Amino acid sequence: MARRYPLSDALQAFVARTRSYAESDPSITAQRAAYERMAAAFTPPRPPGLRISELCLDRLPTVRLYRPTDLPPATGWPTVLYLHGGGWMLGGLGSHEFITAELALELGALVVAVDYRLAPEHPYPAALDDCLAVWRRLRNGSLGEPVDTSRLLVMGDSAGGNLAAALCLALREAGEPLPCGQALVYPALGDTQTPSRNSCADAPLLSRTDLDACLAAYLPHAGDRRDPLALPLRARDFRGLPPAFVAVAEFDPLRDDGERYCEALHEADVDAEFFPGVGLVHGALRARGVEEVETLYRALYQALRGFLGN
């Protein structure tokens, strides 16, 4: 018998609405189309005061840039590189516009969304390679907007949280400049059978079966699961990484991933704020107006402003 999770009425309604877009056809094409329909249903109209453009550059994934219509600061834009969730298999430039557009206005920042290559057609390390390539172009100022490289951070949710953490590890190992902060929301960081994978095995919107399928698509080769750039909790050394904000959802098989990552950062003397996501489910960033989700947004924006010195 499936466990009954004690969600608020508002969050139960969000779960039901999200599930109404589920697709019975298991093909990746059908699943991607269903995900895009769901994402569009939760994406508000683009707000005024925002300039949005796309860039298609050689040897880079397409990126979408969001920034206020104001003139950039003299030092360049504070910038957020946003890496979307979707199990490494779903999503794209439009699927997370519900948050990327808002981030740009709330922070007075440039937000860069990355249309990285998706599994299973492009397994690890394709997505990470794409994200690193965009990061490096951002830092060298070749995406057409002036960037304040001292105020450049990375953020991601779910699979995007994995990529954000991996990007920080990869840059540290390469001796390259690091982001001023990393913000991870219900990130997928390991593959061990943690307590939350068992207690939340049939959780709403992400079950353990769903999670295992995503990991299998992204990491089809067993050896890759030992690579910290694939699963950042495999890292042996977390010293010198950027300060972090890590939010999890209480009713999510991934809950322990984020908590363990924060613990590892603390042990390495890295500043890390942990948000426990009481009452939340995976994917709850889309549930605007729900009080427990608004609590998450308030903590998130406070952390992001702190990273950017706003």
Burial of 35 from C-beta contacts in 10 A (0-12 / 13-18 / 19+): buried
Residue 94 covered by a domain: yes
Pairing of strands 110-114, 63-68: antiparallel
Question: What is the residue whose two structure tokens read 């951002």?
Answer: 138
Distance CA 201, CA 56 (A): 40
User: 3-state DSSP call for residue 239?
Assistant: coil
- Number of domains the chain is built from: 1
Q: Which residue(s) pair with 54 in the sheet?
A: 64
CATH number for the domain harbouring residue 172: 3.40.50.1820
CB atoms closer than 10 angstroms to residue 25: 10
Residue 190 covered by a domain: yes
Q: What is the pLDDT of residue 2?
A: 54
DSSP state of 146: -
CA-based radius of gyration for the chain:
18
Q: Where are the alpha helices (DSSP H) in the chain?
A: 9-19, 28-41, 97-107, 126-139, 159-174, 195-199, 208-218, 255-267, 291-308
Active site residues: 158, 252, 282
CA 8, chain centre distance (Å): 24
Residue 277 covered by a domain: yes
Tell me which residue range forms the domain holding 56: 31-308
Residue 230 covered by a domain: yes
Q: What is the pLDDT of residue 225?
A: 95
* Closest-CA residue to 283 (of 198, 195, 207, 189): 207
Distance CA 310, CA 293 (A): 23
Q: How far apart are the first and last CA of the chain?
A: 49
* Closest-CA residue to 128 (of 153, 99, 160): 160
DSSP 79-107: EEEEE--STTTS--TTTTHHHHHHHHHHH
Residue 37 covered by a domain: yes
- Amino acid 28 reads I
Structure tokens, 301: 């924006």
Residue 8 covered by a domain: no
Structure tokens, 131: 């994200």
Q: What is the pLDDT of residue 58?
A: 81
What does each of the 310 residues of the chain score in pLDDT, given as a tens digit? 356 899 999 999 999 999 999 999 999 999 999 999 999 999 999 999 999 999 998 888 999 999 999 999 999 999 999 999 999 999 999 999 999 999 999 999 999 999 999 999 999 999 999 999 999 999 999 899 999 999 999 999 999 999 999 999 999 999 999 999 999 999 999 999 999 999 999 999 999 999 999 999 999 999 999 999 999 999 999 999 999 999 999 999 999 999 999 999 999 999 999 999 999 999 999 999 999 999 999 999 999 999 999 8
Q: What is the pLDDT of residue 59?
A: 82
Distance CA 212, CA 215 (A): 5
